[in-house]
Amino acid sequence: MFEKKLYRSDMLKCALCYDAPCSKVCEKLDPANLLRSIWFDNEYIASLNYPSANPCLDCDAPCEDACLHKKEVKIRDLMLKLNNDVRPELEIDMPDNEDRLRCDFCGISLENPFLLSSSVVASNYDMCARAFEAGWAGVSFKTICSFDIHEASPRFSAISGDNGTIIGFKNIEQLSDHSVEENMKVFRRLKENYPKKFILASIMGKDDAEWESLARKCEENGADALELNFSCPNMMDGELGSTIGQVPELVERFTAAARRGAHIPILAKLTPNVATMSEAAEAALRGGADGVAAINTIKSVANINIHTYVSAPAVHGMSAVGGYSGNAVKPIALRFIAELGQNPAMKGKHISGMGGIETWRDALEFILLGAGSVQVTTAVMQYGYRIIDDLKSGLNYYLAEKGFRSVEEVRGLALDSVSETTDALERDTILFPHFHPDKCIGCGRCMISCMDGGHQAIRLNEDRRPVLDGSKCVGCHLCVLVCPQKAISSAKKRIYRKAIKKDKE
């Protein structure tokens, strides 16, 4: 893949509007759609969708006047960069079909690997129908139970990034507040109107009989597969939710109960609130599961109010430990997916991965570590079902450019590169940073970070450009990460530590 040319930071003020004013005033293209592709790490698809006639070249940019932020988003410049900087680097045209995205879920064919995860985004007929129409392959329906659910208000809080977008999301929401029969009616209606779409029925019972009964009802009413919720952190009373997921014996017991009630594929949805996940995963397999889903949300406390001393969301002066999700948890999710993908007991079993997926690149990382399907919630809550366009087009283009014929061909390709400990890493060489003067603005952020958080290996010259002291640099690459201009990259050649030591002497 070519080097990225455009970033979210290039369009921070863009609100990703519904019925965007910029597109309403433009007669030659749909700038809102192209901006959204840039936001979701899909700049090359945006460049392919930009007209070859380059209509923005001689345009006075009425889109920027119409923008709700009034000229703060440089739409015309971004469109021109798509044409001038991005398109010349493309190696292939847009794929003419999505056949590469077809994949297998425990023997069931999916049109693509993208599912909605069990949550509010897949909790009634209308929502699921709109998601199917948008292009999602299936849904994991919000967890069905016989409990009397009464949700708290408010029940969400968030951690925001520099531009105000959500990077971490906390919820104290529980399960479906509709009756079992109401949800079965939804299943029947969805299967009648969308027979080729995939329904993964998430369930939670309070005892063996209920797990068995719910499994049977879901199968009888059209569910294609079951997802056993052993991981919800907001159901703590008795043997429910993450309480089950932390005890392998209970995972095995209730998986076996569900298996007695149904013949369709079963996944155990496991909790990340454990040191390792393999023990619970293997217990689920012994109980009759065909695979696992991971991760559910992580137990968390967020946003302490410094005046009321109550964390968020605050409900009548109280809050509670809740589930944390969003892009911030992706590294934790990937760690567990890698563990499952490397477990010999999981060979041939389906892994449905989730936890912080926003872009097609995020989804691909899960697939490269062994996931056969991926699930999304928090990004949909923030941006809507429409993100499926860039999820599909981005992954499809990547597969085509790399010469892969299917999602299955890339599944697990990164597993060999992941070690459980750092002991396996080579430590005899150093990879220096490489400075790009044409991109550098002389801010000195690299020097500050190296001086106060690194190894004092960078200084600024008289032109305010960074100069590296190779005798001090240890190749940590902190400078690469903090540079706001992306003006520092990795050098192409490694240096042996012995050579550096000799130079010092």
Helix (H) or strand (E) segment spanning residue 458: strand 458-460
Report if residue 491 sits inside a domain. yes
CA–CA gap between residue 116 and residue 10 (Å, rounded):
29
Task: Mark residue 411 as left, alpha or beta (left: phi above 0; alpha: psi -120 to 50; beta: remaining).
Answer: beta
The pLDDT confidence band at residue 505, using thresholds 50, 70 and 90, is: low
Q: Is residue 303 part of a domain?
A: no
Q: Is residue 163 part of a domain?
A: no
Distance CA 333, CA 31 (A): 34
Question: Is the pLDDT assigned to residue 176 strictly greater than 90?
Answer: no
For the domain that residue 50 is a member of, what is the CATH number?
Answer: 1.10.1060.10
Listed residues 417, 436, 462: the one ending a domain: 417
- In sequence order, the 6+-apart residues with CB closer than 8 A to the CB of 299 are 233, 242, 273, 321, 322, 323, 324
Mean pLDDT of 284-289: 98
Nearest alpha-carbon partner for 178 in 213, 202, 147: 147
Indicate whether 165 belongs to any domain.
no
Domain match, 63 and 196 both: no
> Is residue 157 domain-resident?
no
- Tell me the whole-structure pTM to 2 decimals: 0.94
Q: What is the mean pLDDT of residues 460-488?
A: 96
Q: Which pLDDT belongs to residue 17?
A: 96
CATH number of the domain residue 289 falls in: 3.20.20.70
CATH of the domain at 450: 3.30.70.20
Number of separate domains in the chain = 3
Q: Does residue 185 sit in the same domain as residue 273?
A: yes
Q: Last residue of a domain, which of 374, 389, 417?
A: 417
Rounded CA-CA distance 165/15 in Å is 10
Short-list 290, 280, 294, CA closest to 325: 294
What sign results for the dihedral spanned by CA atoms 79, 80, 81, 82?
A: positive
More confident residue, 79 or 502: 79
Tell me the average pLDDT of the chain.
94
Classify residue 305: in a domain, yes or no. no
Handedness of CA 370, 376, 377, 380 (dihedral sign): positive
The mean pLDDT of 392-416, rounded to a whole number, is 98
pLDDT, position 238: 59
Instruction: Convert the pLDDT of each residue in 120-134 to its tens digit.
Output: 999 999 999 999 999
Query: Does one domain contain both 346 and 463?
Result: no
| CA distances, 437 to each of 394, 440, 449, 461 (Å) | 31, 5, 18, 12
Longest CA pairwise span in the chain (Å): 79
Overall average pLDDT of the 347-360 stretch: 98
Residue 143's pLDDT is: 95
Q: Provide the domain limits for residue 482.
A: 426-504
Co-location of 177 and 240 in the same domain: yes
User: Is pLDDT at 487 greater than 90 in this prediction?
Assistant: yes
Residue 325: count other Cβ atoms within 10 Å of its Cβ.
29
Together in a domain, 216 and 67: no
pLDDT in tens, 132-164: 999 999 999 999 987 877 777 888 899 998 778
- Model confidence band, residue 237 (pLDDT cutoffs 50, 70, 90): low
The H or E element containing residue 392 is helix 388-402
Residues in the chain: 505
Q: Which uninterrupted H or E stretch holds 467? A: strand 466-468
13 touches 72 (CB < 8 A):
yes
Report whether 188 contacts 222 (CB < 8 A): yes
Same domain, 442 and 405: no
Q: Are 497 and 504 in contact (CB under 8 A)?
A: no
How far apart CA 362 and CA 329 sit, in angstroms, is 12
Residue 448 lies in a domain: yes
Axis-axis angle for helices 208-220, 248-261 (nearest 10): 40
Do 454 and 406 lie in a common domain? no
Q: How far apart are CA 197 and CA 125, in angstroms?
A: 13
Q: Which is more confidently placed, 12 or 198?
A: 198
Q: Measuring CA to CA, which residue among 216, 283, 191, 301 is closest to residue 246?
A: 283
Examine the domain organization and report whether 362 and 443 are in the same domain: no
Compute the C-alpha angle 302/308/311, nearest 5°.
15
d(CA 341, CA 92): 32
Whether 108 and 69 map to the same domain: the answer is no
Q: How far is CA 188 from CA 125, 184, 192, 203, 223, in A?
A: 10, 6, 6, 16, 9
One domain for residues 239 and 129 = yes
Task: Please give the C-alpha separations between residue 39 and each of 65, 69, 500, in angstroms, as whole numbers.
Answer: 21, 17, 42
What CA–CA distance (Å, rounded) separates 441 from 451?
19
Asked if pLDDT for residue 70 goes beyond 80, the answer is yes
Q: What is the mean pLDDT of residues 369-393?
A: 97
Helix orientation angle between 388-402 and 125-134, rounded to the nearest 10 degrees? 30
Tell me which of 391, 417, 443 is where a domain ends: 417
How far are the Cα atoms of 21, 55, 87, 486 from residue 49, in angstroms, in the given order? 19, 12, 10, 26
Active site residue 232: yes
Residue 267 lies in a domain: yes
Mark whether 244 and 360 lie in a shared domain. yes
Residues 105 and 246 placed together within one structural domain of the fold: yes
| CA–CA gap between residue 181 and residue 220 (Å, rounded) | 12
Catalytic residue among 56, 232, 446, 483: 232
Radius of gyration of the chain (CA): 25
